[in-house]
Amino acid sequence: MMDSRIGAVIGLVLCAGAALAQDLVIKGKKVYTMSGGTNAPIVDGVVVVKDGKIVSVGKATEVKLPDGVKVIEASVVTPGLVDVRGTVGVSGLFNSKQDSDQLERSTAIQPELRAIDAYNPQDRLVEWVRSFGITTMNTGNAPGELISGQTLVVKTSGNTVDEALVKNPSLVVATLGPDSFAGGSRAPGTRGKQMAMLREELIRAQEYAAKRSRGTKAENADEADEKSEKQEKAGDRNLRLEMLADVLDGKVPLAITANRSQDIESALRLAKEFKFKLVLDMGAEAYLEADRLKEAGVPVMLHPSMYRAVGDSENQSFETAAALRKAGVLFAIQSGYESYVPKTRVVLFEAAIAAANGLKFEEALASITIDAAKILGVERRVGSLEAGKDGDVALYDGDPFEYTSHCVGTVIDGRVVNSGTH
């Protein structure tokens, strides 16, 4: 068996190499592009990558292949998988204090907490999920406080967060229901108090944004010396209210973790009242609210298919993904956060269960590729195999959703960052 220290060094070399793009020809007996239409595979297809970007995709007999370029082959080729919601790299491989930065418990409302300040691209958990073909993930603060912080979108390669970064911040994340109830006499302790606290903070953010706007206008009119005490106060920085002002301004969506139907409805009411972009997180009972979600245009980062059905998730179903698809709701299946080792699920396996419970193969694959990218607003770069997009590709030796299949290669930005079987 390879010494673990040697394996760690190899992993770091692969990560470091991710910044150096290669020219590649990737051949597959079936190539799923996920680029629209029926999403049917290209039989005997190829993907050509140059300087880290995809330059052409099509049948091997129709695409002109460059000479002298490295060729890799697989039975099934898909876009690099996209995990729409998790905590990998913020929560690490072990249940230890030094790698558990996923949730700050000191206060209920903390939208100013930046995932970029906590993300560790060299954690072994990042390498592990990459070995299943996951190339992009939305990660950061976990559910558990009323507003627990921000998330960011990263590639699963790179030695620094700047090398891995795709989008920051991607979401501000909040939690409704008992998971964010505070203990003892601390607030919030009820659903009514949760909603009152959120409304109060969002109203404060509205007032803060208005005051800052007035202060800016005064400065632009050369009236800075004559500003009132109120205007001067408006110029003081408040990171919490700044972030919420960006939510209200539509710059950053607010993802609300809600499982019970009543909590989902509360989230919808709040979004309608304050007119922010809402993304539903988890949604164990989302099948009861599918029509309302569709009408409101709210996408869903759906709970892992095999998530434990306990507490406010007790009514979840393997068929929720199929119900949302039937209703026309945009959704993606997430890995989520687990409090025990290895503290994450694998979206490849979670989508496989959905494929066995009402979703077609292509629909399940879309839920961890292009549809996840759309929810995160990064579909111009990742999520499908199209000319101009990042050279992120996953290779499998059989049906990706079959237990006996293996990911035999992961390519990120045109660089082979993982090869071999589990």
Q: Is the pLDDT of residue 58 over 80?
A: yes
68 and 112 part of one domain: no
89 and 47 part of one domain: no
Query: Does residue 353 lie within any of the structural domains?
Result: yes
Contact in structure between 166 and 182 (CB atoms under 8 Å)? no
Query: Per-residue pLDDT averaged across 117-142, rounded?
Result: 96
Find out whether the peptide bond into 79 is cis, omega within 30 degrees of 0: no
Q: Is the pLDDT of residue 372 over 60?
A: yes
Q: How far apart are the C-alpha atoms of 149 and 28, rounded to whole Å?
A: 41
156 and 266 part of one domain: yes
pLDDT band for position 218 (cuts 50, 70, 90):
low
Mean pLDDT across the chain, nearest whole number?
A: 91
326 and 315 part of one domain: yes
CATH code of 164's domain: 3.20.20.140
3-class DSSP state of 352: helix
Query: Does residue 210 lie within any of the structural domains?
Result: no
Q: How far apart are the C-alpha atoms of 282 and 259, rounded to whole Å?
A: 6
160 and 245 part of one domain: yes
Tell me the pLDDT tens digit for each residue of 248-284.
999 999 999 999 999 999 999 999 999 999 999 999 9
For position 20, what pLDDT does the model report? 63
In the DSSP assignment, the letter for residue 286 is G
For position 222, what pLDDT does the model report? 52
Query: Per-residue pLDDT averaged across 345-371, rounded?
Result: 98
For position 236, what pLDDT does the model report? 80
Query: Does residue 219 lie within any of the structural domains?
Result: no
Domain that holds residue 15: 4-79+406-419
Tell me the pLDDT tens digit for each residue of 283-318.
999 999 999 999 999 999 999 999 999 999 999 999
For the ranges 21-25, 201-205, 388-392, 402-406, the lowest mean pLDDT is seen at: 21-25
For position 14, what pLDDT does the model report? 45
Query: Per-residue pLDDT averaged across 174-199, rounded?
Result: 95
Tell me the pLDDT tens digit for each residue of 143-163.
999 999 999 999 999 999 999
3-class DSSP state of 127: helix
For position 304, what pLDDT does the model report? 97
Find out whether the peptide bond into 111 is cis, omega within 30 degrees of 0: no
CATH code of 42's domain: 2.30.40.10
Burial class of residue 48 (count of CB atoms within 10 Å of its CB; 0-12, 13-18, 19+): buried
89 and 124 part of one domain: yes
324 and 185 part of one domain: yes
98 and 189 part of one domain: yes
Query: Does residue 390 lie within any of the structural domains?
Result: no
3-class DSSP state of 171: strand
242 and 294 part of one domain: yes
Q: Is the pLDDT of residue 412 over 50?
A: yes
Contact in structure between 157 and 416 (CB atoms under 8 Å)? no
Query: Does residue 335 lie within any of the structural domains?
Result: yes
3-class DSSP state of 251: coil
Query: Does residue 411 lie within any of the structural domains?
Result: yes
Contact in structure between 136 and 154 (CB atoms under 8 Å)? yes
- Reported as type and span, the H/E element at residue 324 is helix 320-327
For the ranges 103-117, 182-196, 228-242, the lowest mean pLDDT is seen at: 228-242
In the DSSP assignment, the letter for residue 342 is T
Contact in structure between 170 and 182 (CB atoms under 8 Å)? no
Count up the domains in the chain and report the number: 2
Contact in structure between 49 and 391 (CB atoms under 8 Å)? yes
- Reported as type and span, the H/E element at residue 281 is strand 278-282
168 and 281 part of one domain: yes
Q: Shortest CA distance to 137 belongs to which of 92, 78, 84, 79?
A: 84
Q: How far apart are the C-alpha atoms of 73 and 361, rounded to whole Å?
A: 22
51 and 118 part of one domain: no
Token representation of residue 333: 């299946």
242 and 365 part of one domain: yes
Query: Does residue 176 lie within any of the structural domains?
Result: yes
For position 352, what pLDDT does the model report? 98
Token representation of residue 32: 């799923």
Query: Does residue 341 lie within any of the structural domains?
Result: yes
